């Protein structure tokens, strides 16, 4: 009897082990919108459908080339041709230029993350794409909380395979927060996209792999076939209509020892800064703070609007239930906000009560600006709003009556328009800088020196000295454009610039945060270099407006540090406010400033003069 039971037990174990073996397809970096990408994806889908042993499909980001709604819709149409279930997350190409503020992805697929169980494995995918704000990756505070909650419900013995678009190293600024969370569980592997190549990797002790793109960059479109075996995860490259070729293997028969990384999320670096107060909204924020008349206004992506006084006390808070990416604007105690859903909303800035809501048929994506205008033979305040389709609207602030509309631009408007005299200047994701009449909305001129979409003057907030307007573009040029004529005055590639620019209070100097480590000061009249300062912030693609305060320069960075360059060009890292990109620092009054980051942290601080 004992022998029979032993044999039966062995058979059960054997059958159980066999049941754990399965295969699935992993596709990544599809880039619908790139040449022939849709054809390549159709071939990949057809190939997967021919293989009866594939249980499901995972897609790890860069589904679209430019994140356009039409690209994502086409991708879904093709992917829905799969005969088996698929699970999908976005990449940076789906978020950087998203005309829907990344809402279209969730609309099409229900979410931008996933979790499901198959046999004894829990498959978890999470988004690392950053909405609009530069290259690289970041996992939002909301998604980190989601991951913690998912894992709390996961048995310590259940195997986990984790999926994310970016490598969990320097590409994702807060990568260690993810690996620290995974460390306490039975994590077997991390699979990433982004690099378009087959490569075994390791993140903090977790075996990992990067997979090839579906694109026919390697002569034939293809994907990765993952074979879950008893003791390993076998990785095969599948070129369509070809025999799978093994290229890698990850052990499955042992528990990985994951290295945890300690990281303080606030460090005061300098005695030149005095922290007055700090707040943590614990929500993602896409734009900088608004400062007006002793009050600080913040808006989160999920539509929570808050008003604080200078002592850090909450005056009011309103949850609009809308998606906000653009900077609000304020005048005459009316706070104006624009939403991705197409709402222009005015709020009483004293108590947070909604005054009016106007629904439009276009996502409102630009930072708002309010300006004085003559309308119906009277002076009034008008709010200027830019949209995903390139439209610019001018509404009376109090009545929300349409004053004018301009349809010149053909791409999303993201930046903060600059109002100079009777002109409004802004960039668009169609490669052009536009100048409109403030009074009529008519086009005065449009300018470009590079018609490549990716080098559009769209994320930079332009500055002006009253004669020229200055922009910094991703082709690493600083350009001065004649405000009256729309012609190039000078154009320099000496500064390794990206999308951050500022101007001195006397309008004679341009401030440039370069892509890597260095800060430049140049002449506004001819672009000639005046000073080069080694700051040491490493790679920085975060667009920032740079402040000149009493000949001191203040700015935030991608690495989470607020910097001061003093009158003698000495560099002072003031404080580190967390592993998250910092929005444009705002001057409040005197030597008091405020800074915020993408994770919803707010700091109000003073700069102490005279200290070294």
Q: Residues 519-534: pLDDT tens digits?
A: 999 999 999 999 999 9
Residue 290 and residue 330 in contact, taking contact as beta carbons nearer than 8 Å: yes
**Is residue 194 situated within a structural domain?**
yes
Domain total of the chain: 2
Residue 585 and residue 595 in contact, taking contact as beta carbons nearer than 8 Å: yes
β-pair type (334-338, 329-331): antiparallel
At residue 339, φ and ψ (nearest 5 deg) are: -125, 155
- 82 with 175, same domain: the answer is yes
Band (15; pLDDT cuts 50, 70, 90): very low
**Is residue 351 situated within a structural domain?**
yes
d(CA 43, CA 240): 7
Residue 559 and residue 565 in contact, taking contact as beta carbons nearer than 8 Å: no
**Which pLDDT score, from 0 to 100, does residue 219 have?**
84
**Is residue 141 situated within a structural domain?**
yes
Neighbours of 230 (CB within 10 A): 10
- 347 with 429, same domain: the answer is yes
7 has a pLDDT exceeding 80: no
**Is residue 484 situated within a structural domain?**
no
**Which pLDDT score, from 0 to 100, does residue 265 have?**
87
Q: Indicate which CATH number applies to the domain containing 392.
A: 2.130.10.10
- 242 with 312, same domain: the answer is no
491 has a pLDDT exceeding 70: yes
Tokens coding 603: 């700091």
Buried b or exposed e, range 507-543, using 16+ CB within 10 angstroms = bebbbbbbbeebbbbbebbebeeeeebebebebbbbb
- 309 with 247, same domain: the answer is no
Neighbours of 149 (CB within 10 A): 11
- 283: which DSSP letter? S
- 242 with 302, same domain: the answer is no
- 204 with 97, same domain: the answer is yes
- 217 with 317, same domain: the answer is no
**Is residue 460 situated within a structural domain?**
no
445 has a pLDDT exceeding 80: yes
Strand partners, 208: 190, 201
Q: Which of 216, 251, 286 is the last residue of a domain?
A: 251
The predicted model gives 423-443 an average pLDDT of 98
d(CA 91, CA 136): 10
d(CA 453, CA 465): 27
512 has a pLDDT exceeding 90: yes
At residue 233, φ and ψ (nearest 5 deg) are: -110, 110
- 242 with 313, same domain: the answer is no
- 196 with 332, same domain: the answer is no
Radius of gyration of the chain (CA): 26
Range of the domain at 83: 19-251
400 has a pLDDT exceeding 80: yes
What's the mean pLDDT when you consider all of the chain? 94
**Is residue 396 situated within a structural domain?**
yes
**Is residue 563 situated within a structural domain?**
no
**Is residue 392 situated within a structural domain?**
yes
- 33 with 143, same domain: the answer is yes
- 322 with 244, same domain: the answer is no
Q: Which residues contact 603 (CB under 8 A, 6 or more apart)?
A: 275, 277, 278, 562, 575, 577, 594, 595, 596
**Which pLDDT score, from 0 to 100, does residue 30 have?**
98
Q: Which of 420, 452, 484 is the last residue of a domain?
A: 452
Nearest Cα to Cα of residue 160 among 84, 80, 233 = 233
- 432 with 303, same domain: the answer is yes
**Which pLDDT score, from 0 to 100, does residue 14 have?**
36
Q: Which of 406, 429, 452 is the last residue of a domain?
A: 452
The predicted model gives 68-75 an average pLDDT of 98
d(CA 164, CA 186): 17
Q: Indicate which CATH number applies to the domain containing 147.
A: 3.60.21.10
């Amino acid at each position: 009897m004992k022998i029979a039971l032993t044999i039966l037990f062995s058979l059960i174990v054997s059958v159980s082990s066999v049941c754990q073996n399965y295969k699935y397809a992993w596709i990544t970096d599809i880039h619908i919108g790139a040449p022939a990408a849709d054809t390549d994806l159709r071939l990949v889908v057809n190939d997967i459908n021919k293989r009866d042993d594939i249980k499901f499909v995972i897609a790890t980001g860069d589904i679209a080339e430019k994140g356009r709604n039409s690209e994502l819709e086409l991708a879904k149409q093709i992917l829905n041709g799969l005969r088996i279930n698929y699970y999908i997350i976005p990449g940076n190409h789906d978020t950087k230029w998203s005309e829907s503020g990344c809402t279209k992805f969730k609309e099409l697929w229900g979410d931008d993350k996933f979790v499901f169980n198959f046999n004894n494995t829990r498959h978890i995918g999470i988004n690392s794409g950053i909405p609009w704000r530069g290259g690289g990756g970041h996992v939002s505070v909301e998604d980190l909380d989601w991951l913690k909650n998912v894992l709390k419900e996961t048995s310590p013995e259940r195997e986990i395979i984790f999926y994310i678009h970016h490598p969990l190293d320097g590409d994702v600024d807060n990568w260690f927060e993810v690996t620290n969370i995974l460390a306490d569980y039975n994590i077997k592997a991390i699979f990433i996209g982004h690099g378009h190549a087959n490569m075994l990797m390791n993140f903090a002790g977790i075996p990992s792999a990067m997979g090839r793109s579906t694109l026919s960059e390697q002569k034939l479109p293809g994907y990765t076939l993952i074979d879950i075996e008893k003791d390993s995860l076998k990785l095969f490259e599948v070129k369509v209509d070809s025999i799978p070729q093994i290229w890698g293997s990850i052990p499955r028969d042992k528990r990985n020892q994951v290295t945890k990384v300690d990281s303080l999320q606030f460090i005061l670096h300098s005695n030149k800064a005095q922290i007055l107060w700090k707040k943590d909204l614990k929500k993602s924020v896409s734009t900088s703070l608004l400062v007006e008349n002793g009050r600080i206004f913040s808006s989160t992506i999920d539509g929570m609007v808050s008003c604080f006084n200078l002592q850090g006390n909450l005056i009011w808070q309103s949850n609009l239930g809308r998606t906000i990416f653009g900077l609000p604007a304020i005048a005459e105690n009316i706070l104006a906000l624009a939403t991705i859903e197409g709402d222009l909303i005015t709020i009483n800035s004293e108590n947070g009560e909604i005054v009016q809501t106007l629904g439009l048929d276009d996502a409102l994506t630009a930072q708002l600006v309010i300006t004085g205008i003559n309308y119906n033979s009277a002076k009034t305040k008008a709010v200027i709003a830019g949209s995903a389709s390139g439209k610019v609207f001018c509404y009376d602030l109090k009545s929300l009556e349409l004053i004018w509309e301009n349809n010149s631009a053909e791409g999303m408007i993201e930046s903060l328009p600059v109002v100079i005299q009777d002109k409004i200047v802004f960039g668009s994701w169609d490669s052009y800088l536009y100048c409109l009449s403030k009074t009529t909305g008519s086009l005065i001129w449009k300018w470009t020196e590079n018609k490549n979409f990716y080098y559009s003057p769209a994320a930079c907030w332009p500055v002006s000295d009253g004669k020229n307007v200055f922009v910094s573009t991703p082709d690493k040029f600083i350009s001065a454009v004649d405000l009256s004529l729309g012609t190039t005055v000078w154009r320099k590639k000496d500064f390794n610039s990206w999308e951050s620019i500022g101007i001195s209070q006397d309008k004679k100097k341009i401030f440039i945060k370069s892509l890597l480590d260095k800060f430049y000061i140049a002449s506004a009249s001819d672009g000639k270099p005046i000073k080069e300062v080694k700051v040491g912030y490493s790679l920085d693609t975060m667009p920032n407006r740079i402040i000149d305060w009493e000949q001191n320069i203040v700015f935030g960075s991608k690495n989470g540090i607020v910097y001061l360059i003093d009158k003698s060009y000495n560099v002072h890292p003031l404080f580190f406010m967390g592993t998250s990109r910092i929005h444009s620092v705002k001057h409040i009054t005197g030597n008091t400033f405020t800074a915020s980051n993408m994770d919803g942290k707010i700091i109000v601080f003073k700069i102490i003069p005279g200290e070294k």
